[in-house]
Amino acid sequence: MARPPVLPGPRPDWLKIRVPAPEVVAEVEGLIRDKNLVTVCEEARCPNLHECWGIHRTATFMLMGDVCTRHCGFCNVGKGRPGDLDPQEPQRVAEAVAQLGLKFAVVTSVNRDDLEDGGSAHVAAAIRWIRSLSPGSGVEVLIPDFQGSEAALLTVLEAGPDVLNHNVETVPHLYRRVRPDADYGQSLEVLHRSAQWRDRHAPGMRVKSGIMVGLGELPEQVLELMADWRRSGVDIATIGQYLPPSAVHLPLQRYVEPAEFDMYARRGLEMGFQRVESAPLVRSSYHAGAGFGD
């Protein structure tokens, strides 16, 4: 029997979650099952699932299966050899977006380093299908690094997302432990290239990135990372508390106090970010559609 993760004391009150609107949660879950789709909400055991499904009627769809080719120590998504792509999946995602009547859709994916283009054409197809079936909906894509391929990134950008999101996940000195198959500099380059493309071709697009805290980073390291983001052209930042999905995942080093999250939000706005979502329960796609269409 798996032992519970070792945590630094009981979960504080600010991390306790109210479960709203169970009947709406069941409706969204039923649609996802009917369309044979995967959501990162479930795979990552997101603490905001019931709020997003039950109140906002939103879900973050995960493309290209539920098996990832990377081995990040924080992630609950399965690791190993993925199966073949389902060419009908982008259309089914768009049908679910239309059926839910979403104002803003978020699409992410597993890493598919086994594919020549990293799955970028599949992601681009999902954007185009959503545009076709829900022309008034905004679209955010949370993409992998595509192993640094500029051509793969361009494939996604040319499909016209409203938000291009790529998470760096943690501060540089923790990469070997937290993201052993990734490179901090390469992730910054993905963001920088996206911002350059935005400036040349789509000034309305936003570039976004996020991290988890509580893995052993220091506040000054988070602020240095935020400065790296701004130098790379990031517009929107997300900072949330890491919570281990199970006993076999990376252990939690500390609960970050709400005042520290508030400090990151305040300093981020001073740095020039257009929006900073920084709070214990913030996740990458939390309130993703804030401000869209305003």
pLDDT at residue 186, rounded to an integer: 97
**Domain-located, residue 2:** no
Tell which wins on pLDDT, 216 or 6: 216
Looking at every residue in the chain, the average pLDDT score rounds to 84
Same domain, 131 and 207: no
Does residue 37 surpass a pLDDT of 60? no
Same domain, 122 and 166: no
pLDDT at residue 293, rounded to an integer: 56
**Domain-located, residue 7:** no
CATH code of the domain in which 259 resides:
3.30.750
**Domain-located, residue 14:** no
**Domain-located, residue 81:** yes
**Domain-located, residue 60:** yes
Displacement of CA 10 from its chain's centroid (Å): 27
Same domain, 144 and 193: no
pLDDT at residue 2, rounded to an integer: 41
Same domain, 216 and 155: no
pLDDT at residue 17, rounded to an integer: 56
Same domain, 173 and 136: no
Same domain, 251 and 170: yes
Same domain, 220 and 199: yes
Q: What's the DSSP call for residue 200? A: H
Mean pLDDT, range 8-28, rounded to an integer: 59
Q: What percent of the chain clears pLDDT 90, i.e. is strictly above it?
A: 58
Same domain, 99 and 29: yes
Q: Is the dihedral of CA 51, 65, 214, 209 positive or negative?
A: negative
**Domain-located, residue 134:** yes
User: The tokens 């369309």 sit on which residue?
Assistant: 35
| Count of the separate structural domains present in the chain | 2
Does residue 42 surpass a pLDDT of 70? no
Q: What is the largest CA-CA distance in the chain?
A: 55
**Domain-located, residue 5:** no
pLDDT at residue 34, rounded to an integer: 66
Same domain, 230 and 260: yes
- pLDDT tens, 162-217? 999 999 999 999 999 999 889 999 999 999 999 999 999 999 999 999 999 999 99
- Tell whether pTM > 0.75: yes
Mean pLDDT, range 133-139, rounded to an integer: 93
Nearest residue to 90 via CA among 30, 43, 132, 45 = 132
Other CB atoms closer than 10 Å to residue 18's CB: what's the count?
7
Domain limits for position 204:
162-178+187-287
Q: What's the DSSP call for residue 170? A: S
Same domain, 226 and 259: yes
Tell which wins on pLDDT, 74 or 226: 226
pLDDT at residue 43, rounded to an integer: 43
Same domain, 242 and 255: yes
pLDDT at residue 292, rounded to an integer: 61
Helix 258-271 vs helix 219-232: crossing angle, to nearest 10: 30
Collapsed DSSP state (helix, strand, coil) of residue 30: helix
pLDDT at residue 7, rounded to an integer: 55
Same domain, 58 and 82: yes
User: The tokens 């994916």 sit on which residue?
Assistant: 109
pLDDT at residue 124, rounded to an integer: 98
Residue pair 59/107 in contact by the 8 Å Cβ criterion: no
Residue 54 — very low, low, confident or very high, per pLDDT cuts 50/70/90? very low
Q: Which residues contact 212 (CB under 8 A, 6 or more apart)?
A: 74, 169, 170, 239, 240, 241, 242
- C-alpha 223/C-alpha 143 separation (Å) is 23
- pLDDT tens, 88-129? 999 999 998 898 888 888 999 988 999 999 999 999 999 999
Mean pLDDT, range 60-69, rounded to an integer: 82
H-helix or E-strand spanning residue 39: strand 38-39
What's the Cα-to-Cα distance from 123 to each of 82, 228, 241, rounded to whole Å? 16, 27, 28
**Domain-located, residue 11:** no
